[in-house]
Structure 1
């Protein structure tokens, strides 16, 4: 069931991650992700190759592989495809559902949604502002 809480949480997170849908590829080089075993970046160059892309900023070899398998695409071999709108929004929807984020939206745990997407709480205040605005629009 699609509820205003789920919609608002999804829109808020994507708004923050993509700079209000302006950036479908992370502005940073991705070098900060180099050697990050937790992301599956095990080969030289993986950090840059599997940097954040799409409206949810999918990051890391493991996530590209899993998203690609779920969507029937070879995103591991073609990571730049995650930045294309026709793929990026599908990736965002897959990421959201595969992480159980609707259940968190249902109970209002926006902070945990942020942690599961971001790995921390970067931009939490802005994300919460987007959430409040989206919820206001969707419930009136």
Structure 2
């Protein structure tokens, strides 16, 4: 009779193990799962999978550090300031705000907000997030997919995607530009920048790689 295999099943192939993920996010909301993250990776196979082993780990650390900052350590699923909720509808878009004026508040690991971002992310991922933005706060894999969509494809207020910043050696500071631009960089909010940098340094340490140059913005 065949005995059940004692070897663990193959890992996700992600450079961050589940144990390291749990170490990074000791107080995380149960909504944010390691499986939700690894399932979402299928949408962006180049993420944390480009360049040397060091670069792969630096990119993973950079993404997770920014995510940690945005969500209070993967605790918050939705934006905490409900007074902001009605502000994220750009009525100038031809498709308007079908889910409602106040439906496009920050959700998920990168706090996706604005009707046009929900539309673009949904189009890219093949999910109708314009009409059903709530999926981002209900489905852990969709939540992570929106974070990876922004990271891999959007320059935001910066000059390059966060993915390209890490892969091409521009440095962690450029990922902050891509996410929040002058709201934080160029003296906009040095404490917020430092919070992101400190988290990135912690996470690269957990993964055993140097943080690299150009950490700040």
Counterpart position of 1:115:
177
Cα distance change of structure 1 residues 34 and 64 upon mapping to structure 2, 3 Å threshold: closer
Query: What's 2:141 paired with?
Result: 86
| Partner Cα distance (1:56, 1:39) in 2 | 22
Moved over 4 A (4+): 34-43
Is contact 2:85–2:104 with CA below 8 Å preserved after alignment? no
On the 8 A contact 1:24/1:53 being kept in 2, the answer is: yes
Which of 1 and 2 has greater Rg?
Answer: 2
Higher relative contact order (CA 8 A, sep 6+): 1
Computed over aligned residues only, the root mean square deviation of the Cα atoms, in angstroms, reads 2.6
- Post-superposition CA distance 1:28-55 (Å, at most 9, x none): 1224735657999966x53x31111001
Equivalence for 1:69: 123
Match of 1:59 among 102, 107, 113: 113
Unmatched runs of 5 consecutive residues or more in structure 1: none
Residue in 2 that maps onto 1:139:
208
| Aligned partner of residue 58 in structure 1, secondary structure | coil
The answer for unaligned runs of 5 or more in structure 2 is 1-48, 51-55, 155-160, 210-217
Decide whether the 8 Å contact of 1:18 with 1:55 is kept in 2. Answer: yes
Q: Match of 1:96? A: 151
**CA 1:128/1:40 → structure 2, altered by over 3 Å: closer, same or farther?**
farther
Change (3 A) 1:41 1:101: farther
Deviation track 1:86-106 (CA, whole Å, cap 9, x = no partner) reads 210011111111122222013
TM-score (norm 1): 0.84
TM-score, normalised to structure 2's length?
A: 0.57
User: How far does the alpha carbon of each residue in 1:45-89 deviate from its partner, in whole angstroms, 9 at most, with x for none?
Assistant: 53x311110011001011000111111111011111112312100
Q: Distance in 1 between matches of 2:196 and 2:144?
A: 18
Aligned residue for 1:49, secondary structure, equals: coil
TM-aligned CA distance change 1:38 to 1:136, over 3 Å: farther
